[in-house]
Structure 1
């Protein structure tokens, strides 16, 4: 690493909302009913959850599922880049580019500027960040707000095996693109912090536009892994006589909130004079369920 960790304060802790008892809600239901229920229980990542449930239960995927999943992931990234993060940074809340649902060129130009493609090399990413084009100003503000080493988390990247257990691993969009040369260099210079995570959305947007998102995996009977807007979504299920006999899901947020996980490490690595940036850290990490930040009781 070429960065130095800043002096940090561990005073902030995350208090997640209680998790829904998903297994209790679907076990015993007919498999088709259960597969329909799961996406309706949650506002986010409905397409990913529906696809994972159907694959794990041995059901055919819905017609057009691939385009629906791509649309879901793309929408989430555009909302972060053009609405959520600019508002949090005091840049004014915008909106995803008009017509993004229908025209890939509109998205490419809005995000990447005149080049209309993601920076392919470390040098190209540096040039893009200095260009003022597309999403670059938002990313530059994120980088300036934190600085190298701040709010970083260094954890093993998620694997198909680790995806099925809610432990402390890096299960995020950044994990999906961690091998990209530009992101590897960014991580070496700044750490796996807010800028690295935010910039990874560029490459996931490119994957959405180019049709190169990872395909869902079914590594074993009753197991499904599906790419989602926040990382890799996992479901393990069993059916008996047409009804759900067992069900478990592990989301990117489960990994994010695990003890010693990305959120805990990121808050611990937030400089003591920048704890006011904690809500922005949370916006960038993007848990799919409510999380409250509090000062730890040192007593």
Structure 2
């Protein structure tokens, strides 16, 4: 008899960042934080400077957009095609090469785009064919400023930046908030990066720095006394994703037992910034 155990995710212990930086000079911490986190390094750099009230260079925002473009191209053009059994796409062409001449905004135009074979259409067509409506989906509240400092279940993702875009609404009605929805959100974010429409980093009144990243929004708060860091807190999109009943838990729970072999593909679409080990799935008794 074939049994299907629930899929669960485990992660490695979080790096004790606060212990590493509290008590160190501000200048040293500003240099250290981006080096500790190679993923979204630019976002980390902006966040620590903004949290400590340090000036931001004018080139920092364009550099963020460049980082996001690179991450989106790698995810959509290399990693997801590999999971889908497709050839890698020519990401050296640059982000603009992959944008449709006109972004689909209706079901009919999106279906025509899927059949066009252009840009990322083969990747989206592959995801469309694999997952049915409601499979590997997560329905959590859209992130708000008050949610960012707490590692709780919320939609802190690239999709949150484009939540009401006509194309994303079409895909949501078609498949739910699942792998295709999240992959298409990357296309929209790629367009936003190239047209300079990314949200600006900002600092809340309570001291939290809110900075866009290629996975969602980072929140970081730091304080210093006499040139030494005395307080440090950091919450990432992955913290929200991995929260109890969060995006990852709901996505795995709504993946049918017969498709547990696709859990790795689901994880690649979610793109956590820390290693995740999946356990469970189909077994035999």
Task: Give the TM-score normalised by the residue count of structure 2.
Answer: 0.93
SS of aligned partner of 2:91: coil
1:10–1:269: 8 Å Cα contact kept in structure 2? no
SS of aligned partner of 2:32: helix
2:217–2:237: 8 Å Cα contact kept in structure 1? yes
Within 5 Å, which residues of 2 pair with 1:1-299? 11-98=6-93, 100=94, 107-109=95-97, 111-113=98-100, 115=101, 117-295=102-280
Q: 1:170-202 CA deviation, whole Å, 9 max, x = no partner?
A: 111011111112211211221100010000011
User: Offset at 1:272?
Assistant: 1.1
User: Offset at 1:127?
Assistant: 2.6
Runs of 4+ off more than 2 Å = 92-95, 117-127
Q: 1:18-46 CA deviation, whole Å, 9 max, x = no partner?
A: 11001111111122211111110012000
User: Offset at 1:118?
Assistant: 3.1
User: Offset at 1:95?
Assistant: 4.6
SS of aligned partner of 1:43: coil
Aligned equivalents of 1:77, 1:51: Cα separation in 2: 20
2:5–2:282: 8 Å Cα contact kept in structure 1? no
Unaligned runs of 5+ in 2: none
CA shift in 2, pair 1:193/1:10, >3 Å? farther
Aligned equivalents of 2:256, 2:219: Cα separation in 1: 34
**1:103 corresponds to which residue?**
none
Q: 1:272-293 CA deviation, whole Å, 9 max, x = no partner?
A: 1000000000000000010010
Q: 1:154-178 CA deviation, whole Å, 9 max, x = no partner?
A: 0001111111111000111011111
SS of aligned partner of 1:267: helix
Task: Give the TM-score normalised by the residue count of structure 1.
Answer: 0.89
SS of aligned partner of 2:50: helix
Aligned equivalents of 2:178, 2:33: Cα separation in 1: 32
Count of aligned residue pairs for this structure pair: 280
Q: Superposition RMSD on alpha carbons, in Å?
A: 1.8
1:150–1:193: 8 Å Cα contact kept in structure 2? yes
Unaligned runs of 5+ in 1: 1-8, 101-106
SS of aligned partner of 2:148: helix
Q: 1:210-254 CA deviation, whole Å, 9 max, x = no partner?
A: 000011121125211011000011101111111111100000000
CA shift in 2, pair 1:297/1:28, >3 Å? farther
